[in-house]
Homo-oligomer: A and B are copies of this chain.
């Protein structure tokens, strides 16, 4: 009888996804005939642009051969044009195409930090950062933001104090998943100053760039004066073209050493998927108003319906999200994961419906935070959002009075 080796300590630390961990309960509810509104995952219900689908269906290759490690030249050109249209001055040779935003973040983190080094992140944050950091042996050091401050950045001093001699980067996400915060130009200027003083990088995850609902326009880290030397933009087409399964993203930076390091990483994994790159070229050529513009209007309407509905629930605390399509909400329960499971196992509306929520604690690195919060993704049409929040209101009431 042979011994069984254990997986690495690194692998043991990779957390399960709080977004996907309740899937078995949801599957069971569906099997039992319930309608489950999925507010747990940022999978929009909007159709992928026809131009993108057509381009992929009409691809003309006899051999699906390796592409270039840094992405197809035509796609890099279209990404560059897209950034220029958005007021971001980035040339095609400053862009590396990646297999989704996920790979872009992994490469950016790797370029900044070695095993044992730290990256600062404002919590609550996109939970998969945890997975990438664990995989890479990087410590994510959280700086807490709060609902009371609308999840905006804490004072500069608090950020400076968190920097140690092992800190190699600050990771931001704007518009933010899960909080909906859009960082102001002033906040980005402050961050750049802090990063420059400490001689560390800023990694900016801007995959929700166009999803801004307030008066302030989105500012990219690459539009900030004096950010040339240390900014790395990570991006993805998943949300803006409702093509999450295509796995196309990119990295943009003006730091040549970063680009050169990431190209070497990209060479090792050969190339991003080829067919989806063909589709993305077509998607990036669609005029803004024809697709992204109208989609963002739809999401603004959804946000308005959602926040209006949430206002009517006793004990629910939130701030109106400024962007993306998530909201981090405090619920009047002790443990939101228990509640989220209960909604799937025990709660059914009179129409046999329920909702799937993402427990909030998974979006924090600090133990004990977010235990009574959930993240809601408003990726359903307004009618479904109303029905889903009705379930939530009803469920909270029954949960409180359960025996």
Contact = CB atoms under 8 A, between A and B. Distances in A.
Contact of A136 (B113, B136, B229, B272): B136
A230 B43 CA distance: 36
A86 interface: no
Nearest to A227: B2
Nearest to A257: B7
A193 to B, nearest CB: 9
Interface string A49-72: 000110011110111111101000
A186 to B, nearest CB: 18
A268 B8 contact: no
A10 interface: yes
B41 A63 contact: no
A383 interface: no
Nearest to A169: B5
A257 B8 contact: no
A120 B319 CA distance: 53
Contact of A12 (B58, B103, B261, B262): B261
B41 A8 contact: no
Contact of A16 (B12, B168, B264): B264
Interface string A12-48: 1011110010000000000000000000010111111
Contacts of A67: 245
Interface centre among A7, A199, A255 (most CB of B within 10 A): A7
Contacts of A243: 64
B247 A103 contact: no
Nearest to A260: B7
16 contacts: A5-B229, A8-B117, A11-B111, A11-B114, A14-B268, A16-B267, A17-B69, A17-B268, A52-B64, A53-B61, A64-B244, A65-B244, A99-B247, A106-B269, A136-B136, A244-B271
Given A102-B268, A136-B137, 19 more contacts: A3-B229, A4-B229, A5-B199, A5-B201, A6-B257, A7-B111, A7-B258, A8-B114, A10-B113, A10-B115, A14-B265, A43-B66, A106-B269, A115-B137, A131-B268, A131-B269, A246-B274, A247-B272, A273-B275
